[in-house]
Amino acid sequence: MAELTYRDAVAAGIAQEMERDERVVFLGEDVAAAGGVFKTTVGLLERFGPKRVRDCPISEQAIVGAAMGAAMTGLRPIAEIMFSDFLAVCWDMVANEIAKARYMTNGQVSLPLVIRTANGAGSRFGAQHSQSVENWAMAVPGLKVVAPATPADVKGLIAAAVRDPDPVIVFEQKSLYSMKGEVPDGELVDELGKARVLRQGRDCTIVALALMVHRALEAAEILEREHGISATVVDVRSLVPLDARTILAEVAKTGWLVTVEENPRLCGWGAEIASIVADECFWSLDGPIVRITSPHVPLPAADQLEDATIPSVARIVGTIRERVD
């Protein structure tokens, strides 16, 4: 068992799959010689060479378009979009071409490609570089969407995404890149569409994603220790496919659902989970579903304002005390 940072686990996951399958290629902006703007791809160029690790122009359309063409012709590309906000630049290609190719060719063309991108707030980059946009991708039929919260999940989910026959977008929360965690030695391949129960409780079920998983766990400890409220914490990990079965089972045990979402409230992923729970698990609920989210505003650049916008441990604790206690 090795201890890796989240960023090193990204490189480890990519390297594992490039070593295993020579069809796996990697391309993006400043990903080769520079090792990535977030230093998530250090060493890949030296290990696999410039034919398989390629720097691209500053053009999201070029990066994603090259990955799409490569996938159509038998390769298994991994494309990096530096900031998830920049998906908007190439969104037509992602949402209208890549997501629909298998359907519109009656299965004659598959696109086994991965798009990796740095997502979310915490680095004070402002409204154009700090958004959480996983719900954009979740809304497009034909895309699979994952968002790992730990180094082990990063490596395992990247491997699973590369081996999947369909396009997968991997959202990496940029504030987690320096976080360390244990990663099993040897080959690690996770499973898309599997949530993970990280903590068992009796009073409410907190469902969270990426950075919010760690804040939910910290809040759950405070709630138990200081207020006698026992909370289950579920890491969603995969938005598409969504492990509704695990979420429903945990909500049925506690009778209360709380979602903690970094994305803006309107049409966030928690709204879909709330809808599923209300439909499938209504008679097990002891009270209204609670969503803790960012407000529907552009993310501020100022430190204190950004912190006030994103759900904090204190806000999670206070909201659950008010609504669940």
CATH of the domain at 14: 3.40.50.970
pLDDT at 123: 86
For the residues 140-155, what does the mean pLDDT come to? 98
Same domain, 173 and 206: no
Over the stretch 241-261, which tens digit does the pLDDT of each residue have? 999 999 999 999 999 999 999
For the residues 54-73, what does the mean pLDDT come to? 97
The neighbouring-strand residues paired with 169 are 115, 145
User: Is pLDDT at 71 greater than 80 in this prediction?
Assistant: yes
Q: Which domain holds residue 173?
A: 2-183
User: Is pLDDT at 298 greater than 90 in this prediction?
Assistant: yes
Catalytic site residues? 129
**CATH code, 288:** 3.40.50.920
Which residue among 155, 183, 211 closes a domain? 183
CA distance 234 to 210: 11
Same domain, 175 and 214: no
**Residue 35: alpha-carbon gap to chain centroid:** 21
**Residue 252: alpha-carbon gap to chain centroid:** 25
By CB neighbour count within 10 A (0-12 exposed, 13-18 middle, 19+ buried), where does 228 fall?
exposed
Closest CA to 254 of 313, 199, 318: 199
Examine residue 148 and say whether the peptide bond preceding it is cis (omega within 30 degrees of 0): no
Same domain, 76 and 179: yes
pLDDT at 1: 84
Closest CA to 209 of 248, 239, 180, 254: 239
Same domain, 204 and 176: no
For the residues 213-223, what does the mean pLDDT come to? 98
Same domain, 126 and 211: no
Same domain, 113 and 234: no
For the residues 309-318, what does the mean pLDDT come to? 97
Which residue spans within the chain are E strands per DSSP?
Answer: 2-5, 24-28, 53-55, 76-83, 114-119, 144-146, 168-173, 180-183, 196-199, 204-208, 231-235, 238-240, 257-264, 290-294
User: Is pLDDT at 24 greater than 90 in this prediction?
Assistant: yes
Average pLDDT, the chain: 96
Same domain, 53 and 99: yes
User: Is pLDDT at 277 greater than 90 in this prediction?
Assistant: yes
Over the stretch 95-110, which tens digit does the pLDDT of each residue have? 999 999 999 999 999 9
Same domain, 48 and 120: yes
> How many domains is the chain built from?
2
What percentage of the chain has pLDDT greater than the value 70? Answer: 100
User: Is pLDDT at 325 greater than 80 in this prediction?
Assistant: no
pTM: predicted TM-score of the whole model, two decimal places = 0.96
Which of 187-196, 270-279, 300-309 has the least mean pLDDT?
300-309
Q: Give, in degrees to the nearest 5, the angle at Cα 205 between 292 and 227.
A: 80
CB atoms under 10 Å from CB of 122, counted, come to 16
CA distance 124 to 254: 37
Which tokens go with 21? Answer: 């399958």
